[in-house]
Chains A and B, each alone.
Chain A
Amino acid sequence: MKSDKKVRLNRRTFLRAAAIGAGSAVIAACGGGGATTAPTAPPATLVPPTTAPTLAPVIPATAVPAPTAAPTAPPAASAETINGVTLPADAAPPEYQTFVTYFDISADWTSPNQMETIYKSGGFGSITNVTGDTLTRLDKNFQVQPAAALSWEADETGKAWTFKLDPNLVWSDGTPVTADDFVATFRYAADPTHAWDFAWYYSAPGAIKNWDKCVAGELPLDQLGVTARDAHTLVVETETPAPFLPAKLVYSEVLSAAKLKEYGSGLYTAEPDKTISCGPYILKEFKPGQRVVYEANPTYKGTNRPRIQKVIQIAARPEAFFAGYQAGEVDRVTGEGLQTADNEIIARDPELQKQIRLTAADFRTDYLFFDCQNPPFNDVRVRQAFSHIVDRDTLIKTIITPTQGIPAYSFLMPGFPASNSEGLKDIQNYDPEKGRALLKEAGYEGGKGFPKLTLWLRNEPQIRVALATAIAAEITQEYGIEVEVSNKEFKTFMDAINAKPTQIQFGMVSYGIDFLDPSNMLGVWLSTGRHNWFNKTFDDMVNSAAESTDQEGRIKVFQDAERMLVEEAPAVFIYHRTVADIYKPYVVGECFEPNVAGFAGLQWPGFSSMSNSMQTLYMSNEITKFRDKPPA
């Protein structure tokens, strides 16, 4: 496998890797404006805040938050109204309200609906989940907002939730959206013959009642804890109290019960002539690997009305995304699609820097992990020694670059509920001397007797191979332990990490959220999670906090659990990824104003029914300076 290359670790190899990286940058720069000066660090204004903001707990147990204010730009006399939305005064004419973007040509994309598939949905940059409303959505501060469900409440047990649906929602064939559609959607998601690739999501914590048994085919689907009380009242029952359920339910893009019955699967959503929509957009063209087009749904009567009237997505190779952006073909490139050389070109061009929009993306953290059940990493002192070897500040400055990440000394990123970055900062600090002392105590003075290590990576791009190589070199230099970096193909890595017992002694991987609750992020460290660190106290803390309806109390328990995680060091946290998307200057909207964590970009979950960002995004009349005619 090409991506399965092994990199021998020494300074020469590292320098060679750096030289190759620099060479690539030069190649890319040949057409990128001709500047040949060395890349400089981006200006301070692009660096995200490094202090932990104090986000309020985001999930109300029973109350419904006030909806985020609708777009407030006052309509000018000439402002145009289209599909029930009045465009701001500085907006380009409706025909220019078209958003053109790329998606990964190599990625699988089987349906635009998330309940059909999550992982085969177009890869980097794709816009998906816009042809059906979800029960709830998030605003840019990650607060849960009403969506298809206008209100909700839990009963006194915290295990039965009643959702009142928006009675205005209709399918594009004119039929109303009812609770039966949501029931059919959840039954389809749990259907063992469907084999939804995201089926684990509605398991614990806060599992939907009978979910696991239905997924396993042990119970009929009518036993699933999602039922219709009446046409517009949906009841969702959970196995345990789940105060975060409304946040979790952002993944609930509704399918049509009638179409599911007619076609026997949710794949109808991928066929423009068969699908119907009750979301802000309707599917017009679906050619994975080529082009996917949505148009604003004229029958949409929900609460997430978009200003953008058409979304054109072009399949391209990520290496060519930025070239296409420079050529003016697309309006944005998401940060994941920008290559190292692209970011270097952006970093030395003030105009391009202004076009960067930072996001916390999915609060992803990259970390080293160990086989904690076998020597040498079953000794906590050894793990702690490794936690003192990562010089995060230098790595961010020299390899990752400050627009792409911030140092991580703990798991939960600043801005994430229960994050305690500042409070945990000193536990895994960079202190090789302390690390050497710990290794000596564990019987490995100067690395003597320590086995040679292989650091497994999960099909990482060059920039994170360089990061791992630098860390490995530091381990060798400071501790005398030989480390070889091996960048594995994705499935080979996942097969090895999920094996019981694990086949990875020492690895580097990342994790990002699926729903906005500490129980999701911390859940990866439960004994039932993907790592083989087993700590009953930690399990009990996370599980009890997950079920607790005491908002303040549960946050405190999560923070204590994270402290234990950082102290016990089954992982060494390296950096939290920030994502620097780039947008043309004419792409504007309130969604680009800084959120409470200081990020001024289109925040997770991005341009989809799961977020209300599409209510504010639009093309200003500046667009006519860049485009002769509306994109088609």
Chain B
Amino acid sequence: MVAYIVQRLAGLAFVFILVSIVAFLLMHATPGGPFDEPNMPLPPSAKANILAKYGLDQPLHIQYINYMANALRGDFGYSFSSPTETVAQVIGRTWPISITLGGITVVVALGSGILLGILAAVRQNSPVDYVVTFLATLGLTVPNFVIALWLILIFAVQLKWLPLGGWGDDWRQIIMPMVALGMGPLGIAARYTRASLADVFTSDYIRTARAKGLAEQMVVMRHAVKNALIPIITVLGPRIPDLITGTVFVETMFRVPGLGKFFVESVLDRDYPMIMALMLLIAALWGLVYLLTDLLYTWIDPRVKLT
């Protein structure tokens, strides 16, 4: 197991370097630069000064080596868009907020999604199943920014039950972003749980368990759900990095000062240090989540061996 983990982590380091090279080359190959002027071009000599100030006049491979050398020491540089803060400070300020919102959403949305999926599977083709299917379809098909707008118009503007947005002043501020963010994962969780469980219910060992006279609750929770979890984890595991790194639409719509907007804004601004840091962060998170997912398989199903 330890050897496996070490091997995977070594692979992750390789992925890291590959991601950094590809991201670095792509962002520099994209037309436009961080110091382009919206209206009128700067005189070439002035432009050259700005590029020199940020080391952008160096050959690309030198820039890359400099960046990675600093990054390995934990210095990700200053954000071009927020020059009073280092990239690490920006991430340190915003990511915990996204983790909080995303973490609560993971627990609530995936938890309730799995629960609803179980209910739907147990009561197949009943009104409960139809309601769950409707909710899941809604979550899967309606984009979260549309859900966000509906929530704002209904609960903040019309009913005035909830605050329009913000973070940290009122516990109710988390409700709407959590629902908007969670509807999609909830839908996925519910649908996959239902499908997976429905499949398991047709297995011989479930028939055997019932034949032994086990209570239905025990059959479902002890024998069926555990075995149905593998496909669910496969699908839901990768949702977690998405949720805990924030999403631009939901966070900006509800004024949550999280990390989400930087994934889009840094690219639009050609904020190279921020783009690189976020790419590396995402690569690390995805790598770790896949590793954890694989480890989780062995815990759920002892037949799975990691080699």
Contact = CB atoms under 8 A, between A and B. Distances in A.
Interface in A435-461: none
Contacts of B31: 491-492, 495-496
Contacts of A511: 39
A350 interface: no
B152 A289 contact: no
B46 A199 contact: yes
A317 B255 CA distance: 7
Given A108-B269, A195-B53, A32 B153 contact: yes
A378 B243 CA distance: 53
Given A27-B146, A215-B43, A106 B252 contact: yes
Contact of A192 (B40, B41, B46, B146): B46
A192 B57 CA distance: 15
B43 A329 contact: no
A489 interface: yes
Contacts of A270: 84
B265 A498 contact: no
Interface in A1-60: 27-28, 30-32
Interface in B228-262: 248-249, 252-253, 255, 257, 261
Nearest to B84: A267
Given A31-B158, A494-B32, A217 B39 contact: no
B268 A491 contact: yes
A494 B38 contact: yes
Interface stretch (A254-262, A320-328, A409-417): A320-328
Interface string B150-183: 1011101110100011010000000000000000
A197 interface: yes
Interface residues of B, number: 49
A216 B261 contact: no
A217 B50 CA distance: 11
A621 B159 CA distance: 26
B35 interface: yes
A514 B37 CA distance: 14
Contacts of A216: 43, 45-46, 48-49
Residue from A199, A492, A496 with most neighbouring chain B CB atoms (10 Å): A199
A626 interface: no
Interface in A495-522: 495-496, 498, 511, 514
B49 A193 contact: yes
A495 B32 contact: yes
A108 B40 contact: no
A323 B255 CA distance: 13
A529 interface: yes
B83 interface: yes
B249 to A, nearest CB: 8
B197 to A, nearest CB: 35
18 contacts: A27-B149, A28-B149, A28-B153, A31-B157, A108-B269, A120-B81, A192-B49, A193-B53, A195-B49, A197-B35, A289-B261, A290-B257, A316-B165, A317-B252, A323-B164, A327-B160, A489-B268, A494-B36
Interface of A: 27-28, 30-32, 105-106, 108, 110, 119-120, 192-193, 195, 197, 199-200, 203, 212, 215-218, 267, 270-271, 287-290, 314-317, 319-320, 323-324, 326-327, 329, 489-492, 494-496, 498, 511, 514, 524, 529-530
Given A105-B255, A195-B53, A327-B160, 15 more contacts: A32-B153, A110-B84, A197-B37, A200-B37, A215-B42, A216-B43, A315-B257, A316-B165, A489-B32, A490-B32, A490-B268, A491-B270, A492-B32, A498-B36, A530-B40
